[in-house]
């Protein structure tokens, strides 16, 4: 069965959507805590961290490490009950 141009476009759009979604989830993870990027890649569905690292840089303009450094939320200080 031949794929029509519409089917090819729809598949390409779906793949692009999934890539963007995976990058957005990875960004949220990288913003929230220090984590190994290989683990992030696996959590968003990529078994090859190198491939996902390239995609991440292409979509964000930053390496995962640089993204984390720039956008990581500061961790809240431990509250030991002393409110002074």
Q: How confident is the prediction along the chain (84 residues), in pLDDT tens digits per residue?
A: 567 878 777 888 899 999 999 999 999 999 998 899 999 999 999 999 999 999 999 999 999 999 999 999 887 655 444 444
Q: Where are the domains of the chain?
A: 5-71
- Cα separation, 35 vs 30, in Å, equals 7
At 79 the pLDDT is 46
Which of the following CATH numbers is that of domain 5-71: 3.30.450.20, 1.10.10.60, 2.60.40.10, 3.10.20.580?
1.10.10.60
CB under 8 Å to 64, separation ≥6 — which residues?
26, 30, 37, 40, 53, 56, 57
- Continuous H helices in 1-84: 5-32, 37-43, 49-60, 64-71
């Amino acid at each position: 069965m031949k794929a029509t141009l519409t089917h090819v476009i729809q598949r390409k759009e779906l793949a692009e959507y999934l890539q963007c979604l995976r990058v957005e989830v990875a960004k949220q993870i990288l913003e929230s805590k220090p984590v190994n990027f290989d683990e992030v890649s696996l959590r968003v569905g990529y078994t090859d961290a190198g491939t996902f690292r390239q995609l991440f840089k292409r979509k964000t303009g930053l390496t995962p490490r640089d993204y984390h450094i720039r956008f990581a939320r500061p961790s809240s200080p431990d509250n030991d009950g002393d409110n002074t």
